[in-house]
Amino acid sequence: AACGSDDSAGGEPDGLTMGFAQVGAESGWRTANTKSVREAAQRAGVELKFSDAQQKQENQIKAIRSYVQQRVDVIAFSPVVETGWDTVLLEAQRADIPVILTDRAIDSEDDSLYETFLGSDFVAEGRKAGEWLLQETEGEDSVAVVELEGTTGAAPAIDRHTGFTEAIAGSGVEIIASQTGDFTRSGGKQVMEAFLKAHDDIDVVYAHNDDMGLGAIEAIEAAGLTPGEDIRIITVDAVRDGMQALADGKINFIVECNPLLGDQLMDLAERVVAGEEVPKRVVVEETTFTQEEARQALPDRQY
């Protein structure tokens, strides 16, 4: 039964099968992203094979291999880290299965290994965080920041650091400590506890996502300090719990990162499978929120 099913060759968009290798369920952002992908697949009549890699690259590689074996029409995945994908993506390419990167990018010399990358501009997000802090602290001559980094080697962790450091270069704002909290609430809490023990001069927390910021809030409160006042907090994502903490004054500023990529992903998948030309990069549009803006936006927030 070696019949590579090629029923999409006529450009018929419906009924395609997608293998989706998700990063995990590490954050509120990820949960909203998974829901968006599942719902969009249903709406588009796409049969979705979904796997959760629990933030481990080896699991994602296994999932992609199994999608190749199953001869899905298209593979989409959100690479947990940037490097180390060439071998498995070559296998997909040899099997003639197009690959779409969603949410996170890879770092590879060979950009023929994927059709398109749909996701946010993480460097711009980091820059927005840094620019807000510069404005906020104008006139203060030294500002000590601790950074809660995302998963080591992940595109959003690398880029959010880069954008932020670019924005604060040459100013009195300085990162005095930086460590990964793996994009989780418990990771953020643990790292923040250690930071609070090691430093008594922390002015600001810059967390690469809301969840780590929310974990840091717990650590700050447990240390008898007031988050948002004694220590200012900047995060990225703008999921509901983050927005609530922002509205409550415990977070000071959030840079939005939109997880609702499902519909755009299905649209790109249908076009790629139909052999249409698609842009190599599709950037998701985003905004930022102050405490007042969070209070206004919260009632209509979907996630």
**Nearer residue to ligand GYE within complex by CB, 103 or 147:** 103
- Minimum gap (Å) between residue 174 Cβ and ligand GYE: 24
- Minimum gap (Å) between residue 183 Cβ and ligand GYE: 4
Give the span between the Cα atoms of 300 and 303, in whole angstroms: 9
In order, the DSSP letters of 209-243 are SHHHHHHHHHHHHHTT--BTTTBEEEEEE--HHHH
Q: Kindly state the DSSP code that residue 300 receives in the 8-state scheme.
A: G
Give the span between the Cα atoms of 116 and 99, in whole angstroms: 8
**Nearer residue to ligand GYE within complex by CB, 101 or 273:** 101
Closest C-alpha among 251, 227, 232, 229 to residue 240: 251
**Nearer residue to ligand GYE within complex by CB, 208 or 232:** 208
**Nearer residue to ligand GYE within complex by CB, 8 or 78:** 78
- Minimum gap (Å) between residue 257 Cβ and ligand GYE: 5
The length of the chain, given as a count of residues = 303
- Backbone dihedral region for residue 135 (phi beyond 0: left; psi -120 to 50: alpha; all else: beta): alpha
Which residues contact ligand GYE (rule: CB under 6 A)? 26-27, 29-30, 103-104, 156, 183, 209, 211, 236-237, 257
- Minimum gap (Å) between residue 302 Cβ and ligand GYE: 16
Closest C-alpha among 149, 136, 178, 107 to residue 236: 149
**Nearer residue to ligand GYE within complex by CB, 34 or 252:** 34
Termini Cα distance of the chain = 44
**Nearer residue to ligand GYE within complex by CB, 23 or 273:** 23
- Minimum gap (Å) between residue 103 Cβ and ligand GYE: 5
Structure tokens at 138: 């104008």
Structure tokens at 299: 């009632």
- Minimum gap (Å) between residue 62 Cβ and ligand GYE: 20
